[in-house]
Chain A
Amino acid sequence: MLDINELEQRWLRYKIKSYIPHGVIVISLIVIISIVVLFMGKMDTKESVQVAQKKKQLPQKQQNIAQSKPKPTQQVTHNTIKKAPQKTQLHQEPVYTKQTQQKIVLQPSLGFMKNMQQSSLPYYETSPLQNTPQTQMQQPTTRYQQLKQQPKLIQNEVVTSTQTVEEDKIIPEEESKKITIQRHNAREDIAGVIKRFKKNNNPALSLFVAKKYYELGEYRKSYNYALITNQINSNIEASWLIFAKSLVKLGEKEMAIKTLTKYVQSSNSGNARLLLNEIKQGKFR
């Protein structure tokens, strides 16, 4: 005679045991699916950002601003009124960047603090005044004054960019979560540096911001901040290099060559010449 109660207990144990692998598989699947969905979502965002960035074209207005920069002083003073629309164009840039920032590819800033410490500050090494062309001395000053008159607009730009970054949180494909945190910090730090720059107008800070934006691939912003730096101090070699590099990145190779040629003529900078040759030869793209 069978002991049914004992057999039922054994059957119950058997059923529980048989459901364990199923449970494990289901849980694993849920975890895997959720990870995949999360990952795919981020991949889609990144892809759309890349596509958008490829399609991004430099507005014609920017060319006018850049072209006008290396012009002699006589023209600057003369064109103060004429350039009014150009000034507005310059200040319209934040509007443009605000739109594109939604699709900007974010790249991790690895140990930027360390880089900051290591990087030389060439803008402190002021070259003799007679070496710099008179035009460069005057033109940036006027531009800076113009910019100073519009602090709110710049502030808006900064706030918008940081907000967008925080909202998007685009993770580069090859980087882990750790990198995401670093990038976020870099953004915060850039925002902090911009705030400080607004308080003391130190060109070292604006150059730092330009460098950081260039490293992050935000060439429009790096161009802007390099331009601001040049306006404050036109003898900073690094700033002109970033300025020219940003122009090349923005597809304004001719403009970059033109600007850099003038700078080389006035400063006789070896690095600038080197970069100029690279740009001309197409080595730097």
Chain B
Amino acid sequence: MSSSIFESSKEVFVDVVNHKDYVQLDRVSTIYQSLKYSIKKPLKMILLFGKPGTGKSMFLTKLYNDISSTQPVYLYQTPILDESEFYKTLAQDIYGTKYMGELNFTQFMKIVENNSLDSIPIVLLDEAQLYSDVLMEKIRLLSDTRTIKFVITLHKTEKEDLIAKEHFQTRIWETIELENSSLAELKIYIQKKLMKANCFDTANMFTNKTVQKIYKFTNGNYRDTNKLLYTLFEIYTIYEKDHKLSSIGTSQISTKIIEMAAIHTGLVDA
């Protein structure tokens, strides 16, 4: 086994949102197709929600990259918390109108009315739970005019679930829930990710038993799995450098290393 294998495998699991890293799993793929289909519907708003690390941001990024060539779509991964700044940004990006000074909802609506577009622009808002209730209400009013279509993502926590209910459930639209992967999906996810980066040797090291162990720590959460596997391959790299690989073996991922990675990433209390 070459010395670069563990290094390159480690890079595969760097936790960044990149549409190229999107791994096509059956269930995820179905959800994604339904999201794409919903975009075409005359819906005002689409709500994408799920626990942190279930791939909401990845979904938005993937959607943005897939449809940006065919229709106007704007992705805002970082929330714009100031209301005026929010309107100004939309006015500039969608309608190309630069507005100096404060811009309120009424003024923004005038800009929208004065600039008619061929197709309805789609605005993708990530981490929407960070927006204020007031701003969320304005976004709802804006979507009611059917001049802008919004796709927003929300963390699904107890509190945020309440927000989702209050703001959206009575008025909607479309809700898509994202969940953690199953055990089988997790194995496919890991192996597909590694194979995409040509790391076939390390992909083969993930047996059912090792994936089961990983699943035990991460509960199928993609973000936690990425963190764990990044640390795992980092440990493997160090062992390799210290010529200690023989002690843990390379035929399959060592349980000891999985546990060490879980301890280091804080997934397990030791």
Interface residues of A (CB under 8 A from B): 1-2, 4, 7-8, 10-11, 13-15, 17
Q: Report the bound CA distance from A4 to B239 in whole Å.
A: 8
Contact between B270 and A8, CB atoms less than 8 A apart: no
Q: A4-B242, A7-B264 are in contact. Are A13 and B270 (CB under 8 A)?
A: yes
Can you pick out 16 interface pairs between chain A and chain B where the beta carbons lie within 8 Å of each other? Answer: A1-B238, A2-B235, A2-B264, A4-B235, A4-B238, A4-B239, A7-B235, A7-B260, A8-B260, A10-B270, A11-B256, A11-B263, A11-B270, A14-B259, A14-B270, A15-B259
Q: Report the bound CA distance from A2 to B241 in whole Å.
A: 12
Q: Report the bound CA distance from A2 to B263 in whole Å.
A: 12
Contact between A11 and B238, CB atoms less than 8 A apart: no
A92, chain B: closest CB distance, angstroms: 74
Q: A7-B260, A7-B263 are in contact. Are A14 and B235 (CB under 8 A)?
A: no
Q: Which of B204-246 contact A (CB under 8 A)?
A: 231, 234-235, 238-239, 242
Is B197 part of the binding interface, using a Cβ–Cβ cutoff of 8 Å? Answer: no
A9 (CB) vs chain B CBs: closest residue: B270
Question: Residues of A contacting B172 with CB < 8 Å?
Answer: none
Interface of B, helix, strand, loop or mixed by DSSP = helix
Add 10 more A-B contacts to A7-B264, A14-B259 (CB < 8 A).
A2-B231, A2-B234, A2-B264, A4-B238, A7-B235, A7-B263, A8-B260, A10-B260, A13-B270, A17-B270
Contact between A14 and B239, CB atoms less than 8 A apart: no
B258, chain A: closest CB distance, angstroms: 10
Q: Report the bound CA distance from A187 to B88 in whole Å.
A: 103
B264 (CB) vs chain A CBs: closest residue: A7
Q: Report the bound CA distance from A17 to B268 in whole Å.
A: 12
Q: Report the bound CA distance from A1 to B256 in whole Å.
A: 19
Question: Residues of B contacting A1 with CB < 8 Å?
Answer: 238
Question: Residues of B contacting A17 with CB < 8 Å?
Answer: 270
Q: Report the bound CA distance from A4 to B260 in whole Å.
A: 9
Contact between B234 and A11, CB atoms less than 8 A apart: no
B244 (CB) vs chain A CBs: closest residue: A4
Question: Residues of A contacting B268 with CB < 8 Å?
Answer: 14
Contact between B263 and A14, CB atoms less than 8 A apart: yes
B257 (CB) vs chain A CBs: closest residue: A11
B269 (CB) vs chain A CBs: closest residue: A14
Q: A4-B242, A17-B270 are in contact. Are A10 and B263 (CB under 8 A)?
A: yes
Q: Report the bound CA distance from A8 to B254 in whole Å.
A: 13
A182, chain B: closest CB distance, angstroms: 53
**0 or 1 for each of B86-116: is its CB under 8 Å from A? (1 = yes):** 0000000000000000000000000000000
A9, chain B: closest CB distance, angstroms: 10
Closest 6 CB pairs of A and B: A14-B270, A11-B260, A10-B270, A7-B260, A10-B263, A4-B238
B221, chain A: closest CB distance, angstroms: 20
Q: Report the bound CA distance from A7 to B235 in whole Å.
A: 10
**0 or 1 for each of B247-270: is its CB under 8 Å from A? (1 = yes):** 000000000100110011000101
Question: Residues of A contacting B260 with CB < 8 Å?
Answer: 7-8, 10-11
Instruction: Kindly name the residue among A1, A7, A13, A15 whose own CB sees the greatest number of chain B CB atoms within 10 A.
Output: A7
A6 (CB) vs chain B CBs: closest residue: B264
A223, chain B: closest CB distance, angstroms: 72
Question: Residues of B contacting A11 with CB < 8 Å?
Answer: 256, 259-260, 263, 270
A1 (CB) vs chain B CBs: closest residue: B238
Question: Residues of B contacting A2 with CB < 8 Å?
Answer: 231, 234-235, 238, 264
Question: Residues of A contacting B256 with CB < 8 Å?
Answer: 11
B234 (CB) vs chain A CBs: closest residue: A2
A14 (CB) vs chain B CBs: closest residue: B270
A16 (CB) vs chain B CBs: closest residue: B270
Q: Report the bound CA distance from A4 to B256 in whole Å.
A: 12
Question: Residues of A contacting B239 with CB < 8 Å?
Answer: 4
Instruction: Kindly name the residue among B234, B238, B239, B260 whose own CB sees the greatest number of chain A CB atoms within 10 A.
Output: B260
